[in-house]
Amino acid sequence: MTKAAIRRSINRLARELGFDRVGVAGPGPLERAGYLDEWLAHGRAGRMDYLHGQGEMRREPVRILPGARSVIVVTLNYNQSEPGPPDHRPRGRIARYAWGRDYHRVIKKRLWKLVDRLRTEVEEPFQARVCVDTAPIVERELAARAGVGWIGKNTMLLNRQLGSYFYLGEIITTLDLPPDEPAADHCGSCTNCLEACPTGALTEPYRMDASRCISYLTIELREDIPERLQPLMGVWVFGCDICQEVCPFNRKAPYTADPDLAARPPAPRPLLSELAAWTRKDYEAILRGSAVRRADLAMLHRNARIAAANLAP
């Protein structure tokens, strides 16, 4: 098969598996590796010490799979409307990406299916490594290089048709595929995301101080949340969508019909009284197969107490 024919097969198989966009990037050093080093050196990662490890792999994806010649990047839309109007009982909010089944499992399973099916169509033997966001790669940088979107002022990956409510997945492979052109930046003069961020985590366009981000505070920070930030967190108990909700590209973003991603309890708005009273048994039963398990039980209790205090008259 020619490179063009292999690429057509990849596009077709990806669509059959439910992915929305496909791009290809080279596995060489990232153009903004210096920015990552500076960001880490200035403590912008907060307590996420794991980001300091495996730096060479993060800067140069080819190190993850020796001999790699291409990175296939896919997107999977997770956008959906909230199911029904909420009642007037005090409720928290969960970020959209965690409403359905754990996306790590969903995407990895589909990407390996894509690899297996591609092997039946391509005579050339090849190696592959499947990655979702737990691998030591800088996903958004690779996705931008692959042309599936651009990194916006809120540091999210944006696509003109999909907005930003989509997951990313990657296949690092020894297949030699023609790379795509990077997408152009369409943020223009808009600063909605910077103005809307309640904690000031977006310090300037294209730069985030993760240690102030509500997503970091509710999901990654294992210790007490600084008191000065607690009143600014609203009712978010897992993640935050504010900088995406105000983005013009999400106003007409399509909804997904993927059953794996459909909202299930406790998403999207858990009762704060129930969440604060969860036992370990509740936690294990309710969050089985959910990305919300990224936060442990003590953290969810903490987040629920803060959200309830922010609703108090």
Question: Catalytic site residues?
Answer: 133
Separation of alpha carbons 157 and 239, rounded Å: 17
Structure tokens at 240: 């935050």
Residues 6+ positions from 306 with CB-CB distance below 8 Å = 225, 230, 233
Token pair 């790590």 is at which residue?
A: 104
Q: Is the peptide bond before 259 cis (omega within 30 degrees of 0)?
A: no
Question: Which residues are 75's β-sheet partners?
Answer: 21, 168
Question: If 0-12 CB within 10 Å is exposed, 13-18 middle and 19+ buried, where does residue 251 land?
Answer: exposed
Token pair 């210790």 is at which residue?
A: 223
Question: Which residues are 130's β-sheet partners?
Answer: 171
